[in-house]
Amino acid sequence: MFAGFLFVCLSKLTFMKYPFFGKAIGGLIGLAAGGLPGLVFGVLMGHLFDRALLKALHFGSPENIERIRSSFFETTFLLSGYLAKVDGRISKSEIDHTEQVIAQMALDAQQRKRAIELFHLGAASDFRMEQAVADFVQACGPQRQLQQTLLLFLISLAHADQGIKASEHAALVRIASVMGLGAAQLEQLLRMARAQEHFQQQGAQASSGTTTLEDAYTALGVTSSASDKEVKHAYRKRMSENHPDKLIAKGVPQEMVELATARSQDIQSAYEMIKKTRPAMR
């Protein structure tokens, strides 16, 4: 416990100045506790701690957050163009949807021009999707939430022309695969996105019929057989994933946060609908 307390109390400034403190402290504690074998073990554990903390500090640095924001912005519009063209042509609804996204982001003239350029680059026949996604994953590091947020943007675009076509679905599978996400994870995101969109369309005036209630459960990522505790946990998780401060801290561009958090209103409405059918949750 004492060793854990010492590790936790290391300040960021001290660690960045002396990145070997984990090994030094681990070695001293190991030596005191177990002699030479303890010293070796302590140094090894301290080394692993140093590596993990250094990586965490690197990804949380202002410089890296800015790199992630830039990568998120560029990859979003590159893949939007790629996904819009994957079925052979870019539909008017896809163009309108992209224009709507740009308008909602309140981009300045230079950002708008860049977004349109990226969209057309992604729609080009020589666009290398795998490289673009790999670069994005590298920029994000271990932050899976950023990849999920980007996928939800793309799923929304694919829905723009009245449902996801087979070619668009296949493209989403390829993108998710490069990100390291399995087919089951993608399918859950697709189900959640469809339910949230359906729930949004029906709104608060929707009937309390089985279909709408099932949409509400799916929007939270659970089934109707989930316990009250599981429903609450899923609701809190979905809301946390779309919290603006957390998204900005992870590197989602501030201009895109409004788009990413808009779905939280649907999640809230879905949760309220479920609560009405569960007396213990009221």
**Residue 44 sits in the same domain as residue 67:** no
pLDDT winner (highest mean) among 44-48, 66-70, 120-124: 120-124
Helix/strand number for the chain, H first, E second = 15, 0
DSSP state of 163: S
Q: Which of 120, 121, 129, 127 is nearest to 150 (CA)?
A: 129
Q: Are 72 and 251 in contact (CB under 8 A)?
A: yes
**Residue 138 sits in the same domain as residue 216:** yes
Angle of helix 166-179 versus helix 62-85 axis, rounded to 10: 150
The number of distinct structural domains making up the chain is 2
- Domain final residue pick, 10, 32, 59: 59
Contacts of 27 (CB under 8 A, 6+ apart): 39, 42, 43, 46
**Residue 187 sits in the same domain as residue 269:** yes
* Domain extent at residue 269: 63-281
What residue has token string 């009245």? Answer: 162
Please compute the mean of the pLDDT values over residues 238-250 and round it to a whole number. Answer: 81
**Residue 10 sits in the same domain as residue 80:** no
**Residue 28 sits in the same domain as residue 126:** no
Burial of 101: CB neighbours in 10 Å, binned 0-12, 13-18, 19+: buried
Distance of CA 193 to the CA centre of its chain: 14
Per-residue pLDDT tens digits for 107-131 = 788 988 998 999 999 999 999 999 9
User: What predicted TM-score, i.e. pTM, was given to this entire model?
Assistant: 0.68
- Domain final residue pick, 39, 59, 79: 59
**Residue 32 sits in the same domain as residue 123:** no
Top pLDDT among 52 and 129 is at: 129
Per-residue pLDDT tens digits for 163-181 = 788 888 999 999 999 998 8
Contacts of 175 (CB under 8 A, 6+ apart): 79, 129, 133, 151, 154
| The pLDDT value given to residue 100 | 76
Percentage of the chain exceeding pLDDT 70 = 70
- Domain final residue pick, 59, 81, 99: 59
pLDDT winner (highest mean) among 12-26, 69-83, 260-274: 69-83
Q: Give the number of other CB atoms < 10 A from CB of residue 215.
A: 24
Burial of 227: CB neighbours in 10 Å, binned 0-12, 13-18, 19+: exposed
Q: Which residues of 254-282 are buried (b: 16+ CB within 10 A; e: fewer)?
A: ebbbebbbebbebbebbbebbbeeeeeee
